A and B are shown apart, each in its own frame.
Chain A
């Protein structure tokens, strides 16, 4: 069975690789803090597997999470100034490859659909893909297929090019890359501390009986405030 945890590990390994590449990056004034941030994040993705399985103490991960926020608060997360692709470089690429450049990008949604919808099959009596994680697994498989397609098509000079380019984007996103996850964490903390109950009680007192549908809507609104999806795209 293909498990979504495999892809969390891959994600964690990418973060760790980004961190390892950051330590020697002299163009980044905060290279030690930044490297520590990405390595911690990567390690937390792998350690998270054991937290979910309840085979490792969650508090250790809690410390790591607060440490990451601490690095950001202390202004220790910076980025390198290594140049992105220049205008001429991009124009040359567009001249050479034209609309074929869209192929790797469009591979992603196509493979997501194929995997999430088409591969929802059972082998013997076991499902091929972990239940309820089909689309996430689809995304992971799609990312791998797309990078292979892109690599074969574009033939970059170094095998490390995808990783370096991914690092450039990740550095540009910075702390915002973990903000959605942190918001989701806050949501769970609110539940543990009983914030939802308080909101419910507050509204129940304010609204007349029989207005429970309004309560549901109000709850929905209170959820949406921290269910903000993703960091804004930056470039």
Chain B
């Protein structure tokens, strides 16, 4: 299709008045990261030297045909370009390419070095680390290319066909870390190849029928990592000091004394279908969509399905007031794989225990949101609006114990005022509040539950003693740092004395709190004033300067360890 568009448009360009514009910028840049970590130049690695740089553009216009080419060469790993053309509203399309290099993290693991002290003697708990590829330079090269095309098939009913493609390639090297804790905790780091590719395709069709526009879009996405899987040796499980009890320690591990792959990326693919409709309905405007998508993990045959729908309706109540109703919902359902684990203490004298379980997905849920907004223009300068809405998330397989409420409810409301005096001065103010019940919670994630009796709980029979992991399960409780009350303020002023200057002042503030916890209240606050000046002495010149100050404060629980195992 793209080839068709290019050739067709060039042919039509022969017969009309032609205008051409070129721009070429030849310069250079100098980068030097001496005395700074490479992370400072996260996206601006380059060589530590002066390098040439090129920018250029070309515009070609002939009658209804328009061609644009833009390009930027920063260095060999940072290149971007776009080629676009259109023939009136009949055909339009573009292809683009952009690339960048990102300096990836490099963790020297220097903090992972410790040995337990028991009395005055070295004990059995040991933590060590090892850099197997010390000095490796970790960075990834991201390249993205794609194209979009739209063709008017029939003027009658405005029938249009759209197609789009995008590929993202990420190659390079990254640090992979494996953690072996069979006889002691030993963390190893090695360089691993990165070779990821994402391909995305979309095709769609759109047509007008009476006062409505109907459209359908099909999407396909495929992800694959083509790099060799990294692998690591995991120590044989033995007592860390005396080297004994290997059989006992080993019977508690899924694997040990073996080399296994780690840090893999599953091959996935996603299909999506979406239909939408937009048009006049009664005195108002309606827009609605229905979607269905399925995402598959091709390595494990686990799939996730999503159904979504949205409906928006805007209606003028009179020439100065209108109302907007918005409803949207999504339902996720994911396969529930059975996790078949080795039997705990298999082959050992005494009791054994099976930890096999069915993994129910925390994604499974119904998520519904609805709101009503009323907007009114009080006079030529002032517009006010109010919004009231509700969001409900009903989680089906939420990882909190049975009996706790698995449904989050959020009631939100917003009020907004805008004052506009011609084009010279405007002011806006917005206040939004949210009341949330049962926000997302980390099940058994945090804290020793006060007063919980250690004599009851999920101690698996037939053990007569308590393992440390049992103690955690007994004593830990659910916790959340998500707020139950949110207050959000936004105030802004813009002064534009003429077309060449504008001054903006803004102040944002946000406060949230969860006071429904037995323990410490969770609180977050944010203040953010800003001031900006923009000068445009000539349409080709624009100068901006701004200052933003941000103050963020968070007050929340942090678990402390109360026993040493």
A, B bound: no
Chain B residues engaging chain A, CB cutoff 8 angstroms: none
